[in-house]
Structure 1
């Protein structure tokens, strides 16, 4: 793709990946990344299927959890296969336009996740601070509608960023210093004045991160104040245990992401540190969310416990019947 001066002179990018990894360790890194990807996809699909199968979990809060699981699967599927191919298949090239498609979905999934976190906080805020209005305001139908909006609203925002980014010129250096294509990495290698696009992008990213985060902080302050007014110790414990689960997930998502975005604007981090931090806040939440949901949510634990006891009881009954049948067969010749 040869064009005039100040224009793109190549048709593909190269993914740098982890710069400190030696070539002899590529296979091990690729296998580890493949394992992480399969764990993310498998864990989140299991959670969605479990909620879908178990009718007692067909509630608004679990519908929100399922949307979070879907966006976690989408993010992993958008980012992981290409970096796995780099280390397992030695394929580190990314076609020019495919890079911007990946960039769109990377930031789109991040924005959807931020909005879903807001919904999780709003669900708990209404349930605890306005419990009598909760059954009226928060239904499966209303939750489905709002979840759908969280998937639709980010499209024009992220599309604007991608269109402005792809319109810039890339003419000298085509190595993406990251494990996937994102705006920050592409902005670093553009050869035109990128300041206005970077400012617009930074403002949009901060808006979709900090506005939901501000509401989340406000809602949990209100929740804490409301809970402290409850006289029952058991009720206080139950409420805090429910909210602590969501606060843990929210903290895992927001704290490192906001730190990375703000720090990268003010401090020049070492390349390896920046890449590892990005991969940490990108992959750790979707990796641990299914575990947190399954083992920290009391209702899901109770369903697991009931089903496990039922399976164990059925197996014991089947084993007892088999033993009884075998004993009867052995007893027949002696009776004869």
Structure 2
């Protein structure tokens, strides 16, 4: 379905390459992708179930965690089934509007994930710096408003990207050199000046992910200042231990994002498959790792998971 004429058109379908240069290894690459997706589904559904049924976990920190888990489920499901279809069945076609829908879900829910990580940083800041006012500050209405603000912010800023892409004329090839409908990879096929769309995409990424990362760093500066003011080493260690899971989740999400961005901007000599694998990692790894991190680090969750396995074995 390669289109080579120079007539402007809106293609009915795009063709996703998968991982350029590694087409012969698609089957073997699919195994870790599939395993990661299964772990992400099982882990996040288990986390949501435990938070729902365990009354001791009905606290702001775990409500935010349930929001993060829900986001992880949507984020991983928006890309992995189609990627596996490419790897296993060579099902590379994707409808034009389905491609734009996938683009919206990928970028908006990545932004939502970043927003919830920031919300969880605020939760840790209040818990450590204002512990006596924790429940009075983070009430249920406040938590709901924070959650809605994160979603509305991401959706309103990301929504113009697929709409701009839809308005472009396309000619020549309809092959997307990516494993999913990433904004830059799709817009690159347009036969028009895409400067505004590209610039808007960069500004949105910097405003959402970049600004969130700055505020998270600032929150932890305040947290560390408060922790080192505590009288005993035991109190400091206990306070920092409550942040351990969140710090791991931050690193798991932002390190691949920053690395992928740096390689994309400055790694002109880096092989295309490296770009694609890095771009896929920050959408796949956090949904898989986050439930494991919180399952291991949170005593109530860990005990409940162990009890579930004991019950299932009887």
Distance 1:49 1:241 in 2: 24
Q: Please, which moves more after superposition, 25-34 or 281-290?
A: 25-34
- Structure 2 match to 1:278: 279
- State the Cα distance separating 1:129 from its structure 2 match: 1.0
Distance 1:171 1:278 in 2: 26
User: Does the 8 A contact of 1:9 with 1:170 survive in 2?
Assistant: yes
- State the Cα distance separating 1:6 from its structure 2 match: 5.7
- State the Cα distance separating 1:189 from its structure 2 match: 2.1
Residues 171 and 297 of structure 1: CA distance in aligned 2, closer, same or farther (over 3 Å): same
Higher-RCO chain (CA-CA 8 Å, sequence separation at least 6) = 2
Distance 2:232 2:300 in 1: 21
- Structure 2 match to 1:16: 17
Deviations 1:80-129 (A, max 9, x none): 11111112222111111111110000001101001001101000011111
- Structure 2 match to 1:49: 49
What are the ranges of 5 or more consecutive residues in structure 2 without an aligned counterpart? none
User: Does the 8 A contact of 1:209 with 1:258 survive in 2?
Assistant: no
Q: TM-score, normalised by structure 2?
A: 0.91
1:62 and 2:62 matched: yes
Q: TM-score, normalised by structure 1?
A: 0.85
- State the Cα distance separating 1:284 from its structure 2 match: 0.8
- State the Cα distance separating 1:26 from its structure 2 match: 4.0
Residues 26 and 63 of structure 1: CA distance in aligned 2, closer, same or farther (over 3 Å): same
- State the Cα distance separating 1:206 from its structure 2 match: 0.7
Distance 1:290 1:78 in 2: 18
Distance 1:261 1:308 in 2: 40
- State the Cα distance separating 1:303 from its structure 2 match: 4.6
- State the Cα distance separating 1:145 from its structure 2 match: 2.7
- Structure 2 match to 1:84: 84
| Superposed CA RMSD | 2.4
Distance 2:166 2:267 in 1: 26
Deviations 1:186-239 (A, max 9, x none): 132222111121011100111001111111000101100110010122111111
Choose 1 or 2 for highest CA Rg: 1
Give SS of 1:222's match: helix
- State the Cα distance separating 1:155 from its structure 2 match: 1.6
Distance 1:234 1:299 in 2: 21
- Structure 1 match to 2:200: 200
1:223 and 2:223 matched: yes
- Structure 2 match to 1:319: none
What are the ranges of 5 or more consecutive residues in structure 1 without an aligned counterpart? 316-336
Give SS of 1:7's match: coil
Equivalent residue pairs, number: 310
Give SS of 2:159's match: helix
Give SS of 1:132's match: helix
Distance 1:220 1:6 in 2: 54
